């Protein structure tokens, strides 16, 4: 008797990548992220852009999601989130396509950087930071990501035994009675993302 093969739903991979940006040679009391992000976004060509979001209450301006541009070239988008450029990759079904889309978005951001810098006065240069880490375990911003189930807590492990063990002990104290499981995420981090970037587009 022939058994029917049940195939699962393909897993979507996507990423929302936060870029750091500033203008070297320009002094502002609150930093230069505002000027840098808008100069970069102006140089990204898109078929249309919106200045807000459409939700259940209708169309509204959202200062945290400003100037979203949808890219017909690859299905991604770019926008400003709290004065830094953010690039969103299109959702794809394979790791190969995910890496290809990631590098395509970086090239779009690089082209915008070159075009924006060409228009700045002498002595000013926009800089964009992609991997916001110094390579020694320190990052300018970080996220804690947990999946809490009835029996366990699943989170990221970073391959540093002392730090991972300390985090496991702290989490066990905060979530008594649950097994603490830590997944290795080194390859994702080396690619410039976090574990949430790969799971965020997938419905629960």
Q: Is residue 139 part of a domain?
A: no
Q: What is the pLDDT of residues 78-108, one digit of tens each?
A: 988 888 898 888 888 777 888 888 889 999 9
pLDDT at 203: 43
Residue 68 sits in the same domain as residue 153: no
- pLDDT of 35 > 50? The answer is yes
Over residues 158-169, the pLDDT tens digits come to: 777 888 888 899
On whether both 95 and 153 belong to a single domain, the answer is: no
Which of 28-42, 60-74, 90-104 tops mean pLDDT? 28-42
* DSSP assignment of 71-125: -TTTS-EEEEETTEEEEEPPPBSSHHHHHHHHHHHHHHHHHHHHHHHHTSPTT-E
Domain that holds residue 181: 146-199
pLDDT at 195 (0 to 100) = 55
- Does 7 fall in a domain? no
Tell me: pLDDT of 130 over 70. yes
Domain stop point among 68, 98, 129: 129
The verdict on 107 and 72 lying in the same domain is yes
Residue with tokens 């985090």: 167
Backbone angles phi, psi at 107, to 5 degrees: -65, -35
> H or E segment at 86?
strand 84-88
**Residue 167 lies inside a defined structural domain of this protein:** yes
pLDDT of res. 82: 80
- Please indicate, yes or no, whether residues 32 and 111 belong to a single structural domain of this protein: yes
> How many domains does one find in the chain?
2
Q: What is the pLDDT of residue 40?
A: 96
Do 71 and 166 lie in one domain? The reply is no
Distance between CA atoms of residues 19 and 10, nearest Å: 29
80 inside domain: yes
Q: Does 204 reside within a domain?
A: no
Cα-based angle 132, 143, 44 (whole degrees, multiple of 5): 50
Last residue of a domain, one of 97, 129, 161: 129
Residue 40 forms part of a structural domain: yes
């Amino acid at each position: 008797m022939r058994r029917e093969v049940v195939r699962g739903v393909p897993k979507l991979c996507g990423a929302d990548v936060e870029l750091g940006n500033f203008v070297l040679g320009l002094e502002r009391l609150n930093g230069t992220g505002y000027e840098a992000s808008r100069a970069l976004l102006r140089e990204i060509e898109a078929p249309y852009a919106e200045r807000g979001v459409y939700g259940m209450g209708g169309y509204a301006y959202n200062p945290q999601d400003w100037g979203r541009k949808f890219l017909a070239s690859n299905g991604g988008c770019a926008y400003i989130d709290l004065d830094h450029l953010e690039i969103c990759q299109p959702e794809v079904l394979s790791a190969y396509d995910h890496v290809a889309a990631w590098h395509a978005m970086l090239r779009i951001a690089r082209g915008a950087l070159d075009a924006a810098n060409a228009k700045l006065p002498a002595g000013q240069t926009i800089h964009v930071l992609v991997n916001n880490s110094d390579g020694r375990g320190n990052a300018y911003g970080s996220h804690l990501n947990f999946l809490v189930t009835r029996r366990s807590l699943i989170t990221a492990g970073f391959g540093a035994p002392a730090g991972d063990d300390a985090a496991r002990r702290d989490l066990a104290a905060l979530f008594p009675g649950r097994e603490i499981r830590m997944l290795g995420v080194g390859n994702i981090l080396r690619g410039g993302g976090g574990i949430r970037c790969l799971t965020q587009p997938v419905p629960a």
